[in-house]
Amino acid sequence: MPESVKTSRQGPIFEVILDRPKANAIDGATSRAMSEAFVTFRDDPNLRVAILTGAGTRFFSAGWDLKAAAEGATIEEDFGPGGFGGLSELPNLNKPVIAAANGMAVGGGFELLLAADLVIAAEHAEFFLSETRMGVIPDSASFRLPKQLPRPLAMEMLLTGRHYSAREVQGLGLINQVVQGPEVMDAARAIAAEILKGAPLAVEATKEIVRMGEGMPVAECYRTMRSKGFPTFERLLVSEDIQEGPRAFAEKRDPVWKGR
């Protein structure tokens, strides 16, 4: 894995750090390395929550590497199985990802936040989509933002390139917490610790249902559930953990989850 992507394990927490000075921009090799990291996270049963952040304090990520683009790289190159940044298109990722925005999230960097499940942002961070001014499109954001914001607000963000502060983006509902810069990773780890209190299969089944059900009407979600169309949920139903939760409650003790 190239030095631009660093990973570490803190027990069941998997931390991915984008470290590519000066702006943590992402070229093809970096994106493929990020895909490799998130595939590892997805497929390792000992890992339960991921935190994605950038090195330094100025940039979370400036998105697509425009210098590489100027030298001939295209947006159609191989970015790895997870798509750009390793996260936006990775199939069957049912474990939660927390984005810790330590600084500016620009273009594809902002799109990585939209692909995450929870977002912590440094108070000084800024967010904007600059693609149309570069002659390209914010494809992932074009898919995701209109599902997360009222259409006029999504279109303003997609088309104008306006800079938004962390507080503004939090007010739009796209950020969970805004903290002082040095506290970003501590806040992300604190949320991860809260997630880890839940049963592993229950957490994964919840994300699976949210992920698969986003484009379905509610009635279809129920039909899919009743026809056993959510495989992780089906594993949960026959797991030891689904019995452990009520038993621990009745015995007035903390549950001991086995993930099976």
**pTM for the model:** 0.93
Residues taking part in catalysis: 111, 131
Q: What are the chain's domains?
A: 5-195 (3.90.226.10), 200-250 (1.10.12)
Per-residue b/e over 23-49, b at no fewer than 16 CB within 10 Å?
bbbbbbbbbbbbbbbbbbbbeeeebbb
Of the candidates 46, 114, 35, the residue with the CA atom closest to the CA atom of residue 78: 35
Q: Identify the pLDDT of residue 259.
A: 86
pLDDT along the chain (260 residues), means of 10: 87 97 92 96 97 96 79 68 93 97 95 97 96 87 94 96 96 97 97 96 96 92 94 93 90 89
How many CB atoms neighbour CB 128 within 10 A? Answer: 20
What do you get for the CA distance between the two ends of the chain, in Å? 31
Number of helices (H), then strands (E), belonging to the chain: the values are 11, 10
Q: Identify the pLDDT of residue 65.
A: 84
Residue 30 CB contacts under 8 Å (≥ 6 apart), including other chains: 2, 4, 5, 18, 20, 65
Q: How far is CA 219 from the centre of its chain?
A: 27
